Amino acid sequence: MVVGVSFASRDRASAEDAAGAATTTAAPAAPATPLPASATTGSVVIPDFWDPRRRIERPAPGVVTAIRFITTDDFPPFNFVDAEGHLTGFNVDLARAICDELAVQCTIQARDWNELAQRVASKQADAAIAGIAITADTRKSLDFSDVYLKTPARFVVRNADAGLAPSPVSLKGKTVGVVQATAHAAYLAAMFPGLTEKTYPTADAQREALAKGEVDAIFGDGLQLSFWLQSQAANGCCAFAGGPYLETRYFGDGYAIAIAKGNDDLKAALNAALQSVYEKGTYAELYLRYFPVGFF
């Protein structure tokens, strides 16, 4: 069954700009990777991947008149079907915000994951907002908008150690749990040679070990860890320590909207809309709605 919604541009309402500024740095031993600027709302850091000095020229009115988005319906909280049968999620609402900003008609439909890239490349759809990886292989048939979200690696510790600032020095001699044969395990081995790396077959086993106090910290996907921290399984035991790690060689380039090769007008429109959606505070609204425990 295909789940879809259609929507027209709505009256744009500017949310309050995220207040304050904060910059998070990685461990000194890590490769120099630029971190996004950020704003703080309460205790949650809102990532910012847009250069405020950059101004993208939008296509002339009438050049982009409609956008046919596709996504999946099985990857919460990014794209899923809610209890009432509506397609929703962070990606879906971001697509709506883009359409509002551009004042164009849009549709968004759920398709099988394996169909997304081919449908966009063959122009059966205009854009896929579903986390298609940005790789040399996907770039052969697709182009991508600016990155609108990344999933950094993070350290998590028990609450008693929440003040720990992870570094090769502070973690020397400590035991850190990590899922075996992952990019996170490879990163720890390369950048934190002084710690004791304890591997686990699954993320659940890794997190349970921390909750029981069997390791001093764990290192893994910040997004998934943020969900665990607010779950019954964590039972309030633990917290993030230090900041995000965004080394692209290990953790990828992040989330962007996939479009067909050569569709430069649509790409410019999407990039301009994404930056504007951030600057008006709508991005922060959506981030807080779907990620109440921020992972930056």
Mean pLDDT of 209-215: 97
CA distance 92 to 40: 24
In the sheet that holds 79-81, the strands lie side by side as 74-75, 79-81, 87-88
Which residue type is seen at 84? Answer: E
Confidence of residue 29 (pLDDT cuts 50, 70, 90): very low
69: enclosing H helix or E strand: strand 66-71
In the sheet that holds 105-110, the strands lie side by side as 4-7, 105-110, 66-71, 127-128, 258-260, 142-144
Q: Which pLDDT belongs to residue 70?
A: 98
Fold: same for 4-8+24-149+256-290 and 153-245: yes
Say if CB 175 and CB 148 are below 8 A apart.
no
CA distance 25 to 32: 10
Bridging pattern class, strands 105-110 and 4-7 = antiparallel
Q: Which pLDDT belongs to residue 36?
A: 56
And the tokens for 117?
Answer: 């890239």
Domain boundaries, the chain: 4-8+24-149+256-290, 153-245
Mean pLDDT of 211-221: 97
| pTM for this entry | 0.83
Q: Which of 23-27, 91-95, 144-148, 225-229 has the lowest mean pLDDT?
A: 23-27
Instruction: Please name the residues in contact with 44: beta carbons below 8 A apart, sequence gap of 6 or more.
Output: 287, 288, 291, 292, 293, 294
The yes-or-no verdict on residue 31 having pLDDT over 50 is no
Q: Which pLDDT belongs to residue 43?
A: 76
Confidence of residue 20 (pLDDT cuts 50, 70, 90): very low
* Percentage, residues of the chain above pLDDT 70: 86
98: enclosing H helix or E strand: helix 90-102
Mean pLDDT of 64-72: 97
Q: How far is residue 5 from each of residues 103, 104, 105, 257, measured CA to CA in Å?
A: 17, 15, 12, 18
23: enclosing H helix or E strand: none
The yes-or-no verdict on residue 19 having pLDDT over 50 is no
CATH 3.40.190.10 fits 153-245, yes or no: yes
Tens of pLDDT along 116-158?
Answer: 999 999 999 999 999 999 999 999 999 999 999 999 999 999 9
Mean pLDDT of 76-88: 96
Mean pLDDT of 177-200: 96
Please state which CATH class domain 4-8+24-149+256-290 belongs to: alpha beta
Q: For residue 292, which of 45, 15, 21 has the smallest C-alpha distance? A: 45
The yes-or-no verdict on residue 173 having pLDDT over 80 is yes
Instruction: Please name the residues in contact with 286: beta carbons below 8 A apart, sequence gap of 6 or more.
Output: 90, 93, 94, 97
CA distance 51 to 165: 28
Mean pLDDT of 233-262: 96
